[in-house]
Amino acid sequence: MARYQKAPLADGKRGTALLQNYPSVKCVKDNTVHFVDGTSLPYDDGLAKDFDHALQQPDMEDHFRQAYPAFAPIEPPALNFDPGRFRNDALLKKLYGGSQEEIEANLVEVNWLPVNEGKKLLFNKRENAAAQLQKVSDELDKLPSQYLKYVKNIDGTYQYRPIQGTSRLSPHSYGIAIDLDNQYSIYWLWDKEYRYVNQIPRAVVEIFERHGFVWGGRWYHYDTMHFEYRPEMFERVL
Ligand SMILES: [Zn+2]
């Protein structure tokens, strides 16, 4: 199963990142992403977008408009630095299910922290997402006990809902995101004033990152309980 290092920066590698990390992607050529089921989607819509436009209507190219700083020291992100927050809905529907019913048919149970607690979490089995979350859990389970409080009482995984304040589907709707315990977390929308004060230990963050999950604590629009399976944001090493 895949492990990851820093995000690829070279333009030429980005289509390759989709191809390498999502088994449903068959090939990427001539600005088109072809899927193993015979369908295809455009890669680049050709539009020049500012930050808000890219956030509202990202194409697949916009996934890579900011390089995710995997394994970097944790520090307050720069203004509007939100790598991984740009999500092409057509791609996610193709990968994980085109409707609530289809997505729910793809959910499987992940055995979360069986050594320490043992609870079942629903996650999407497509594209290795659930298998990678199981690997995260297996590593978290081996951490010293002082880390347990952050990951034991998780806030949730699958929930079919829009992103708060928008009509776009949350990544939780696809069963590819997990929120840790919200009492150790900050979320920009809940804060009256901007404040970035992270409590999530770097050891926890790096375990998720090693298995292809981006962290909302690396975003200017911070959401430090939030981890999301986005392997195309990493460079694969194994
Ligand atoms: Zn979340």
List beta partners, residue 76.
none
> With the C-alpha atoms ordered 89, 103, 15, 76, is the resulting torsion angle positive or negative?
positive
Query: What's the pLDDT score for residue 17?
Result: 73
The Å distance, Cα 158 to ligand 1 centre, comes to 9
As a whole number of angstroms, the distance between CA 145 and CA 89 comes to: 38
Determine how many CB atoms are found less than 10 A away from the CB of residue 169: 18
As a whole number of angstroms, the distance between CA 50 and CA 29 comes to: 26
Could you tell me how far CA 129 lies from the centroid of its own chain?
A: 10
> Which protein residues have their CB within 5 A of the ion that is ligand 1?
177, 179, 226
Q: Which two tokens stand for residue 16?
A: 């390759």
The Å distance, Cα 30 to ligand 1 centre, comes to 34
Q: Which amino acid is at 16?
A: T
Polymer length in residues for the chain: 238
pLDDT digits (tens, 9 = 90+) for 92-108: 999 999 999 999 999 99
pLDDT digits (tens, 9 = 90+) for 105-138: 999 999 999 998 789 999 999 999 999 999 999 9
CB 199 within 8 A of CB 170: no
Burial class for 225, CB neighbours closer than 10 Å (0-12, 13-18, 19+): buried
The Å distance, Cα 178 to ligand 1 centre, comes to 6
pLDDT digits (tens, 9 = 90+) for 22-49: 999 998 888 899 999 999 999 999 999 9
As a whole number of angstroms, the distance between CA 108 and CA 155 comes to: 18
What is the average pLDDT value for the chain, to the nearest integer? 90
Q: Which of 1-5, 6-10, 189-193, 197-201 has the highest mean pLDDT?
A: 197-201
Query: What's the pLDDT score for residue 210?
Result: 95
Please report, for the chain, the start and end positions of each structural domain, with discontinuous segments joined by +. 4-236
CA atoms within 13 A on the CB side of 2: 28
CA distances, 99 to each of 87, 96, 119, 128, 189 (Å): 17, 9, 27, 19, 27
Burial class for 11, CB neighbours closer than 10 Å (0-12, 13-18, 19+): exposed
The Å distance, Cα 1 to ligand 1 centre, comes to 24
The Å distance, Cα 12 to ligand 1 centre, comes to 30
List beta partners, residue 110.
121
The Å distance, Cα 183 to ligand 1 centre, comes to 14
Percent of the chain with pLDDT over 90: 74
The Å distance, Cα 160 to ligand 1 centre, comes to 12
Q: Is residue 9's pLDDT more than 90? A: no
The Å distance, Cα 227 to ligand 1 centre, comes to 7
The Å distance, Cα 25 to ligand 1 centre, comes to 25
The Å distance, Cα 3 to ligand 1 centre, comes to 22
DSSP string spanning 53-94?
Answer: HHHHS--TGGGGSS---TTPPP-PPPTT--TT----HHHHHH
Q: How many helices (H) and strands (E) does the chain have?
A: 7, 10
CB 223 within 8 A of CB 170: no
Q: Give the largest Cα separation in the chain, rounded.
A: 51
